[in-house]
Amino acid sequence: MMIKSIIATTMEIDDPKIAVEEILSGLEIEKNLKKNSIGIVSCFSEFSETGVLKAICDALPFECIGTTTCISAAGNEIDNLLFSLLVLTSDEIEFKTEIIPIVDDFEKNIETTMAEFRKNTKEKPALFLGYFPLLHHIGCDMILTALDKATDGIPVFGTVAVDHKNDYSTAQTIYNGVAYRDRLVLGAIIGEVDMIFEIASINEDNIRKQKAIITESNGNILIGVNGKSAISYLEEIGLTKAEIATGLGVIPLIVDHKDGTKPVARAVFAATPDGHVVCGGAMPVGATLALGRVDVNDVLSTTETTMKHLMKKDSIILSYSCVARYLVLGADVSAEGEKIQDIAGNEISFIYTCCGGEICPLLDANGNWKNYFHNYTNAFCRLG
């Protein structure tokens, strides 16, 4: 395979010197590093606060991108406080990175940055790894739509930052050792890459057969269903106002775009006074809607099925799993990561990260990858 991987981890969150030594020892750079490399980081936000994140990235001879999280796994390690590093390295494949401010004029920032990127890059990337900020006023779907337009539909695979706090106040993207609240971080993979994407979402048995039509919406705001207000429809099918108002982690809405791609799950974040419902992603008019349910067995069985389907010796897997799935696991928060570890064994290299939303392409009716944002999903990218 043209891309090889190296994994290193540390639990040292306080002493930068010790942490750097552990990471460098795990990587064995002189022995394993090829001509071009990029590091993918997943860590607890306190690694940034103590200076360990910056120290590790400064000690590495390649750029690093990623996010904070509440749990990660790589190789044989899994823990809430684990610093996970997956290095992609190749003599043939190139890697380039970008960081883009996501502020009020973020569409212009994305367009300008990508125009400059195209000017300085001879070959069109096969894939962008995308690390998105968790913002209240700018939805991930909006950022992805702007990026998709600016890159002419190049596949984007990635995740939204999350952390261990109830308000996600330290959820940050990572670029070369610095953590940001409002930056989109991208890693371009340039060259001939054998890649495939898959999602572990809600099992069909946990989706109601009763379907409805989205009749009015505004981006991620669900306004009308079957000609009624969104709140009225959800109450009609048995949900209470209290359940709708505190829907995150409880109510998955399954949206079928009717374009040949797989249905996607959407979280319910809140209800508005005028009967609208704030969702975790775009709710397009004309799509069908169904109510889903997620439980422990669903999380583990869908991940197991997807991992077994993707297994290919010596390949590399990136796994980004929604924090809603993590919350469903209750006390056994490491169960999904351990399931991936057990199936991967010594056959493949992987990194698993809990996140605030998943970006994963799906195949459309014509066999082309189409970028989508997901909730309640474990998104997988296999390289090689």
Task: Return per-residue pLDDT of the chain as tens, 384 residues.
Answer: 699 999 999 999 999 999 999 999 999 999 999 999 999 999 999 999 999 999 999 999 999 999 999 999 999 999 999 999 999 999 999 999 999 999 989 999 999 999 999 999 989 999 999 999 998 788 899 999 999 999 999 999 999 999 998 888 999 999 999 999 999 999 999 999 999 999 999 888 888 888 999 999 998 899 999 999 998 888 888 777 777 766 544 678 999 988 888 888 888 877 888 889 888 788 999 999 998 888 999 999 999 999 999 999 999 999 999 999 999 999 999 999 999 999 999 899 999 999 999 999 999 888 999 999 999 999 999 999
User: Are 191 and 208 part of one and the same domain?
Assistant: no
Domain limit, last residue, from 264, 291, 318: 291
Number of separate domains in the chain: 2
The answer to whether residues 277 and 208 belong to one domain is: yes
Q: 107 and 236, same structural domain? A: no
Both 74 and 164 in one domain: the answer is yes
Between CA 377 and CA 202 the distance in angstroms is 7
Strand 228-229 and strand 221-225: pairing?
A: antiparallel
> 183-190 and 195-200 as β-strands: parallel, antiparallel, unpaired?
unpaired
**Cα 261 to Cα 370: distance, rounded to the nearest angstrom:** 8
Last residue of a domain, one of 256, 291, 326: 291
Both 132 and 262 in a single domain? no
Domain-terminating residue out of 269, 291, 313: 291
Helix (H) or strand (E) holding 24: helix 16-27
Q: How far apart are CA 156 and CA 126, in angstroms?
A: 9
Tell me 206's DSSP state: G
Alpha carbon distance 95, 89 (integer Å):
9
In the beta sheet, which residues pair with residue 224?
216, 229
Q: Which two tokens stand for residue 330?
A: 């209750």
Residues 181 and 120 occupy one common structural domain = yes
Residues 6 or more apart from 145 whose CB is under 8 A from it? 282
Q: How many Å apart are CA 25 and CA 111, to the nearest integer? A: 40
pTM summary value:
0.91
Displacement of CA 203 from its chain's centroid (Å): 19
> Are residue 244 and residue 102 in the same domain, yes or no?
no
Same structural domain, 79 and 172: yes
Same domain, 304 and 353: yes
Torsion of CA 138, 141, 142, 144, to 10 degrees: 120
CB-count burial class (<10 Å; 0-12, 13-18, 19+) for 363: middle
- CA dihedral for 77, 79, 85, 86, sign (positive or negative): positive
Domain span at residue 145 reads: 4-200+297-383
